[in-house]
Amino acid sequence: MTKKWVKISVLCFAWYSSSSLNNVVGKHLLTRYPHPLTLTLIQLFSITIYSYPLIRWYLERAPLGITVPKSVYNYYIIPLAVGKFLASVASHVSIWKVPVSYAHTVKATMPLFTITLTRLLLGTHHSTLTYLSLIPIITGVSIASITEMNFNLIGLTTALLSTLAFSLQNIYSKQVLQKTKLHQFELLFILAKLSFLFFTPVWFLLDFNISYDVEIVFYLFFDGFLSFLQNILAFSFLNLVSPLGYSVANASKRIFIIGVSVVVFRNQVGFSNWVGMGVAVGGVFCYNYAKNWESVERKKVSLLPLNNNYV
């Protein structure tokens, strides 16, 4: 048990560190080189290149060994690949336009999007406690937005759009994994590869003629490696803990990233802004526990004996 917790702790720290460094490098790069399309494409290229040998080693077979039904490919995987690209571009635009700390505070609204989308698209009902847990999230993000010293409407809008897109990705990625026998690493590889292939022509039209120097190229590929690394560490961490444990750790990671970005970039953050961030992230913790309670209650109901009346 001790060895397991040591492994979990090391993985968690590595995940937090790579995610924070990825955001710091991305912000630094976009400040000097404001081309989120190129940054996104390099990330997708890096994930594709690094994932292939990892999948062969991890699964001990070719990554495309499983035949994905054409209907799943057309109706789920291709839209997911497009969504992955658009979500990443929107996310990069947000950290370009606003401080990383504020962008991640806005991204704390993901539970709100998840609850709304699962209700509209899948007809999923949630407990009153789960709906109530959204109130501090909305309140916190509102306070942070009102008091943000470097507020930018484009930054806010793209942060919300990326959160919406990532919420949709999470919902439909789970459906793909359920409908097929694909491993998470395989799905990550397929989506990154398709996204890269689909949007390379767009990059040629918009960013191909932009000048580069050695330092910019280094940061682009370093950022791509960090993006790949944090994806792999997140999957590895998820395999060792419960879904609730992962959700809580993910919320804590957001605090870690906010703290690191404020220290590195020396952003001016007022007291009210800190309060807004704290309330929003605290709301995410409340949401995680509410969802866990909801899941436990549903299991209890499903285990109740049927009330059969015998004559």
Taking the chain (311 residues) in runs of 10, the rounded mean pLDDT of each run is 78 90 94 93 93 74 62 87 93 93 89 86 83 89 86 92 89 82 82 93 88 88 93 80 71 86 83 87 85 73 44 31
pLDDT of residue 66: 61
pLDDT of residue 301: 55
* Total-model pTM: 0.85
Tally the C-alpha atoms within 13 A of residue 189's C-alpha that lie toward its C-beta.
Answer: 17
Q: Which of 112, 111, 106 is nearest to 91 (CA)?
A: 106
First to last CA, the chain: 53
The CA distance from 150 to 33, in Å, is 19
Measured N-to-C along each axis, helices 153-179 and 78-97 cross at an angle, to the nearest 10 degrees, of: 150
* Phi, psi for residue 272 in degrees, rounded to 5: -60, -35
The 10s digit of each residue's pLDDT in 232-241 is 888 778 777 7
pLDDT of residue 311: 31
